[in-house]
A = this chain, B = another copy of it.
Amino acid sequence: MMYDIPELEMTADVTSQEHAYQRLRHAILVGAIPTGVTLTMRGLADKLDIGLTPIREALRRLSSEAAIQMQDNRRMLVPTMTAGRFDDLIATRIALETHAAKRALPYVSNILIDDLRAIDAQMDAALTADDYDALTVLNQAFHSQLYCANPNQTSMSLVESVWLQLGPFQREVITALETFYVVDRHKEILTALKTRDETALAAAIQHDIEDGVGSAGKDAIASRSKAKMA
């Protein structure tokens, strides 16, 4: 199966391994790598124009984040999605991110709220420009900046692992009509932040996840299994 890995501008001083990792990670995050197809090290090395060694280490890192799966046959692939796994990933996202948001709330400043609002505005722009990959990245930046307000935060890397596992769904999901809900829910999050209302914040995060990837993903899985039956 053909696919391509989006470019990703980086500072020149990063190692090849880091470069490969960031680029593959981004590709998975926006759903650019189809699920189920076998990835080969030489193939990726060729595609990214990088040696085998950095690719290997990047893949090992991604496998430890459950972004890719290394089977015992020595085959590597982006795991395929099932309804059950998807459901559990969404539930885990909600548990983890409501927790992270609540822990971050005491550290939220008005400046941060303004920054989040700015990201939200960028999302509106990306939406009208039909730049869905940017939309995904911005949405994650929105959540990430919030959770990282907590200076002792230890759950961001866990959240990112879940995002990576949901990544393969991004493209089929984000084009769905439900997309605009995300922006709406961000407004709800911003309001809860402004009033420093912990309960409302947790609810808003949950709604954001459910209405965004959650519902659209369910639809995508449903239509996929219907297609298989036909």
Write out the residue numbers on chain B whose beta carbons fall within 8 Å of the beta carbon of A158: 92, 96, 158, 161-162
**Interchain CB contact (< 8 A) of A65 among B64, B91, B96:** B64
Does A122 sit within 8 A of B, measured CB to CB?
no
Whose C-beta in chain B lies nearest to the C-beta of A84?
A: B152
Q: A85-B152, A92-B155 are in contact. List 5 more A-B contacts (CB 8 A).
A: A17-B60, A57-B60, A60-B60, A95-B155, A154-B162
Does A165 sit within 8 A of B, measured CB to CB?
yes
Mark interface residues in A31-49 (1 if CB within 8 Å of B CB, else 0).
Answer: 0000000000000000000
A64 to B84 Cα, complex, angstroms: 26
**Chain B min CB distance to A65 (Å):** 5
13 A-B pairs whose Cβ atoms sit less than 8 Å apart in the complex = A61-B64, A62-B64, A66-B157, A88-B103, A88-B150, A92-B155, A95-B95, A95-B99, A96-B99, A96-B158, A158-B158, A158-B162, A161-B161
Does A144 sit within 8 A of B, measured CB to CB?
no
**Chain B min CB distance to A154 (Å):** 5
A149 to B85 Cα, complex, angstroms: 14
Tell me how many chains of this kind the complex includes: 2
A87 to B150 Cα, complex, angstroms: 12
Listed in ascending order, the chain A residues whose CB lies under 8 Å from chain B are 17, 56-57, 60-66, 82, 84-85, 87-89, 91-92, 95-96, 99, 103, 150-155, 157-158, 161-162, 165
Grouping DSSP codes into helix (H, G, I), strand (E, B) and loop, the A interface class, with mixed when no group exceeds half, is: helix
**Chain B min CB distance to A139 (Å):** 20
Write out the residue numbers on chain B whose beta carbons fall within 8 Å of the beta carbon of A64: 60-62, 64-65
**Interchain CB contact (< 8 A) of A154 among B88, B99, B103, B151:** B88
By the criterion CB–CB under 8 Å, are B57 and A87 in contact? no
**Interchain CB contact (< 8 A) of A157 among B95, B154, B161:** B161
A84 to B154 Cα, complex, angstroms: 10
Known contacts A64-B65, A65-B64; A92/B154 CB under 8 A: yes
Known contacts A96-B158, A158-B158; A88/B152 CB under 8 A: yes
